[in-house]
């Protein structure tokens, strides 16, 4: 399945075909104007017609071929196009994770980093106070580094435990680190898995003064 930005050769085979066979192409994108009168390239004695398409948006693309001469008729084809992969919120990049691990990151590195960031935001840092920009990202150099390193430490630990970014926030047994409490579900056979939230990540956050706070109501 092509993604947005990909180019692809679309082809039509005409049978029978001879020197009188000719074809034109109309491209119907998921949204916007139809492009008509395109001239595909013939081959194999006018039996095969091809045209390179660049997909500019996700959705269903349709191709209408109009054949004249021998093999005359109208034929339709479709292509489904996926959106370009989107990045979610993360305090670290896959390059940061590779440097942290001193190895090539796993293929699901982005999901691990995004899961670690969600976990920090929703569980660990709910009472932490630090300056952020309009996107909610830290602005102080010390906090930026601490959150980057803690995110990498968590992602690397989850990867070692076989935890994916999607399920990383649902696998904890009760354990306290500073003012934060985590709960982990039992492992295989009902036996609790390692109950630690990454000790390394906790030490990084504590060293930056981001743990040990309590939530206060006004």
Q: Which is more confident, 215 or 71? A: 71
Length of the chain as a residue count: 218
**Is residue 215's pLDDT more than 80?**
no
Mean pLDDT to the nearest integer, 91-105: 96
Q: Where are the alpha helices (DSSP H) in 122-178?
A: 141-161
Question: d(Cα 55, Cα 80) in Å, to the nearest integer?
Answer: 10
**Is residue 143's pLDDT more than 70?**
yes
Listed by start position, the domains of the chain span: 7-81, 94-207
Reported as a single tens digit per residue, the pLDDT across 51-95 is: 999 999 999 999 999 999 999 999 999 999 999 877 789 999 999
Reported as a single tens digit per residue, the pLDDT across 112-131 is: 999 999 989 988 888 889 99
Fold of 7-81: Immunoglobulin-like (2.60.40)
What pLDDT, on the 0 to 100 scale, is given for residue 170?
54
Q: What is the mean pLDDT of the chain?
A: 86
């Amino acid at each position: 399945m092509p993604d947005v930005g990909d180019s692809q050769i679309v082809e039509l085979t005409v049978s029978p075909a001879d020197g009188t066979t000719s074809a034109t192409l109309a491209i119907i994108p998921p949204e916007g104007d139809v492009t008509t009168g395109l001239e595909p390239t013939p081959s194999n004695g006018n039996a095969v017609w091809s045209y390179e398409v660049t997909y500019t948006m996700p959705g269903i693309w349709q191709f209408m071929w109009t054949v004249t001469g021998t093999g005359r008729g109208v034929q339709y084809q479709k292509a489904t196009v996926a959106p370009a992969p989107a990045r979610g919120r993360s305090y670290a990049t896959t390059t940061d994770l590779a440097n942290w691990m001193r190895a090539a990151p796993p293929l699901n590195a982005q999901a691990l980093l995004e899961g670690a960031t969600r976990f920090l935001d929703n569980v660990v840092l709910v009472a932490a106070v630090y300056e952020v920009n309009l996107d909610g990202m830290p602005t102080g150099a010390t906090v930026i580094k601490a959150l980057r390193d803690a995110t990498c430490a968590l992602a690397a630990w989850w990867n070692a435990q076989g935890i994916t970014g999607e399920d990383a926030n649902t696998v904890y047994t009760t354990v306290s680190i500073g003012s934060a409490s985590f709960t982990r579900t039992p492992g295989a056979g009902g036996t609790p898995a390692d109950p630690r939230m990454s000790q390394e990540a906790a030490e990084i956050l504590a060293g930056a003064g981001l743990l040990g706070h309590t939530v206060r109501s006004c």
